[in-house]
Structure 1
Amino acid sequence: MTESGPSMTAMPVLSDPKARLQHSRVARLIVAILVMVPLVVSAIYMWVLWDPTKTVKDMPVAIVNQDTGFTDDSGTTEAGAKVTDNLVKSGALNFQRVDKANAYEGLRSGRYYFVLDIPADFSENLKTITNPGTAASLITVTFNDNNTLKASQIGGSAMEKIYQSVLKGIAATTVGGLVDGVQKLGDGLRSAADGSGQLGDGTATLSNGVSNDLAPGVKKAREGAAKLDEGAGTLAAGLVSLQQGTDKLGDGATQVADGIERLTTMAQVNNLQAAIKQAQALSPNNPQLAKVAELIDGLARLKAGSREIATQLTSPTAQYRSGVNKLVDGSGRLQTGAAQLSAGMVAIDEGVGKVADGAQRLNDGANRLNQGLSDGAKKAPDFGDEQARATLAQLMATPVTKETKHLARAQFSGPGGAPTILLIASMLVPIMILLTFRGHRFVTDDKTPRSLRATGRRAVAVSAISLGVMVLVGVLAFITRDPMPEPASLTKVIVITAAATLMNAALVSVLYTLFGYVVGTLSSLAWLMLQLFSYGGIWMVETVPAPFQWLHWISPLTYVRNGYIAAFNGVPGFWSSLVTLIVIGLAGLALIFGAVKFQRTRYERIVGHEPTALPAT
């Protein structure tokens, strides 16, 4: 490149090593790298050490509660709503309740630094944690390092503390669910105890009533006893009639005996017997005398027999009469016994009825006992085998798990670091390229300011070289990421990178034009460092000191970041960012040419003549 100035001859060949160093672009590039890299690394490291713990509460974070709640015998549980309320009230972060669509759209557009997502089955998993196959409730935390690098690190650290608070907050729900299960088991066992008490009462009743198996036989025995009682009464009445008849018969027999005795007195019989004997002596073979003798003997026997009959029928000591009297007495006792038997069988029958009632209550109690035990067994937790118990123990220890997702992870050479690399390079590369050019001070007594044409050529050269280097940086930024970034629009990434590079080349050139080689370099690097801390791509804007938050809105890198967010995430804002960069770049060019024109006008006024072209590089 050439410069305009006083009449000068061609520059002589320099043998001085210092002069050669100033004229060697490679040497100046090495010097630029040696100066800039440690400075940039040190500045970035200083910003990395910034502690935002006192201001992290201002980070806007979306919380999505999709929990539908869970209803069981103990009532309705809404653990997701409880966790959400507790997080919002805690103020640990600037949690904002939003729906899922707005949350993830805000994460892509940079409105939220990350999203905390509570699933629909959150409460159900907590309340059924003792059931086989139940998994821990899962909270998903999603970051997007395309927008801000430190958000995932600071947010991840904050979420660890918040996660512990969540575990404490839902402990009552999980342990309460287990306690509810044990309580239900206790209720079932108490019901079983009540049933067993009723079973005992029924057994006592059964023992008093003998056995319900006797019911049919006792009924028949009762009927038989009643018939026996009736027969005994009939028999007693008959025997009383027999006794009365015997009395009458005895009276008649006595009268007969008395009559026979009167008829046949002993003297008469004796006389008749003596007369028959005399007659038989006179006529021993007379058959009539024999018959008369037999008749007289028969009368004697009749007299004795009739008296014996009368005696048997009337004398209490006689065998017959005493037997009749005993029969009458026995039939009376039989009647009394039969009546008592009948009454006893009635009592037995009634007792058997009570036994039947007791047996029914026993059956009912046994059924309730069985049902209570069955219900209690169903409600009791089934901890399964050893592996299932180990799994349950793990679930009880960590009933809620946290899964971290990244739309574009930056750590470990992840794709999320590409936008930051491109953004920093878009300003750092023009500074390094300008450092490879020779320094030239405009306001001196022995140097002529550059012409507008020379300034334009330098601007074109710096821009072209910077764009070329940015192509290489861009390729390296993509191929060194694992996995490789997949922006929503690669074309927009290229366009915004080119616009950012040209804009930064213009702005850095302004500083070099105004302040010269050394001061321009230092002021450019200082400007880069200030923007890196305030533009929002490394540190969250809400967590930096107030002056840097104000600087955020006027920092050109802020709009470069917005353009990358739109290009990488596929959200609105690309065209507005691109127009802003173009306007800032054009404003930088205007400042450059305005400053050059001002310097040349001032110089011409001082030297008092039109300058001629000077050789320059």
Structure 2
Amino acid sequence: MKAVKLALLELRRFRGPMRRLVPLLLCLVPLLYGAMYLWANWDPYGKTDRMPVAVVNQDHLAHAKQGRRVDAGDQLVKQLKASGTFDWHFVGQDEARDGLEHGRYFFTIHIPSDFSHKLATGADTRPKQAGIRIELNDANNYIAGIMTEVVQTKLQDQVNSATHAAYVRSVYGELSDVRDKLTTASDGAHRLVGATRVAQQGTSTVASATSTLHDGATGVAAGARQIARATGQIDDLAGRLDQAAADRLPGAVSALVSTARLTTDGLDAVHTATSATRKGTSRAVGDLTDLADSHPELRDDPVYRRALGHARSLDSTATALDGRAAAAENNARRSLREAERLQDDVGSLRRDVLALHTPLRLVDTGSRSAADGAHGLVEGLGTLEKGSGALHAAAEQAHGGASEVSRTVDDGLHKIPRTSPDQVAHAAEVLGTPVHIDRGNLHPAGVYGRGLAPFFFGIALWVFGLFAYLLLRPLNTRALVGRVGAFTTAVAGWLPAALLGAVGALVLYGVVDLALGLNPVHGFWMLALLVTGAAAFVAVDHCLRTVFGVPGDVLSLVLLILQLTASGGLYPLPTEPAFFQVLNPMLPMTYLVDGLRVTVSGGLTGNLVRDFAVLLAFTAGLLAVTALAVRRQRVWTVGRLHPDVAL
């Protein structure tokens, strides 16, 4: 109770019109410092739309290879106008440069003339990277340059998103072209399959026809050989007839007429067979020629060309054989007529019998030629049969290959989906920004000032401690020279400033909360921590002033400077030099800032309990040190009577 009475006695010193304002001014010191700084820096990034920024757009319209228009400069300008991040001024290059130099613009954004042209190369094999230049002038404001980093990231994200979207549209356009071409290829492959199927059927028919023709030609050849043997026999008989013409002429003439008639009938059959053979070979050649006309791709096929050559050779042979058979038939008919005339006129035939040997020899020669031709026809038809078989096999292979090509093209076609303009637009939107980053925060502080409030509150309370003992006496002189205990004297000197500091902390909290919208998560515990922190900081300044006198204020100022960096209130502690990291756990502001963060934004309750405990320990420990200093100061020395430094 003595300490309380002594504290009240110290406050009663401030009587009179002006002195009564001293405690009030002391209570307003935290408010003037902390609230002013927070007010000025509460949400600077939320007011960037008041900062004038110049934009120079020198971009020109470009076209991609697919003919698509690329006007990225104008699109970027529209995005900037819509964003409202800064106070955009779209000016010329000279105006932007002059405004940056004279401070009318905080920075400038320059879009070069080849911006769209380089973005249009996104689908090329060697794309070019487009660029935007941001020009700063730190002589105007350095922090404004730091703020441009936010704009630079947003600009790059917007340009990258637009570029990716344009590239996706280009790729989808090329895929549509590929699909159209594959569709055409698929139709052609299906037609090729149909054509090879027809060729397969045609070659099968040709192979069957040539096999039948070969069998018929074999029979013709056998008949021709028989005729040749018969005509040979007739020739022998004609020779004998020359010798026995006179005696046996009538009977011989009769036999001759019969033989000639037989020969004529045989040669007529031969001629009919050779004529049928010639027509069959002609039709085969015609069918092969028509097949090539229907399917031009077979003209260059080696097997087809060999088969066509064999067919033509066989046709030529059959034609020659048919001609010879016709000639032999005519000769036989003439011989028959002659024999019949001879039979009618035996007398005259006696004279002509010797001349009969010559046409018979001709018949014999013709029949032998016909036999040889029929043999050649058989060989040619055998070759044609083999060629038609090879042609049929080639047609089957061509049909199998065409079917495989058709299946391959169809498979590739089915793997490329059909796309509508809406689908392409949706894909461009998604793939333009393929990854969406969701940013979460366990305990969000919100605006800039709310996050820095713990740091500024700590500085304001420390500054209060500095000012407090410029106006308040650290020790009551009567108590110092009296019999009051040293600890009671120390508490009595600390208590008035601690009370005023607590009031100042409460005023600071109320103004910031009501005027700026602090809205702490744990309001009660924040008030309690502010009071505890004010008590601890006052204890530090009280101890320094008691122990060192006026130089103690200088030491308090030095401690404030150290705590600005070592408390971790601005930048993460690992980014600070090792010296400040070592100091961090030794300084009281560290624990006040940490505890206020928990009360403002939320966090671990254990950390808040620790911070309360450490601040209370600082208060108790420093009061104990002050009590020791009080005990020593009860012995007066010359240095205390005449201090080196005094206010």
Structure 1 length as normaliser, TM-score?
0.49
Q: Which has the larger radius of gyration?
A: 1
Larger RCO, structure (CA 8 Å, separation 6 or more): 1
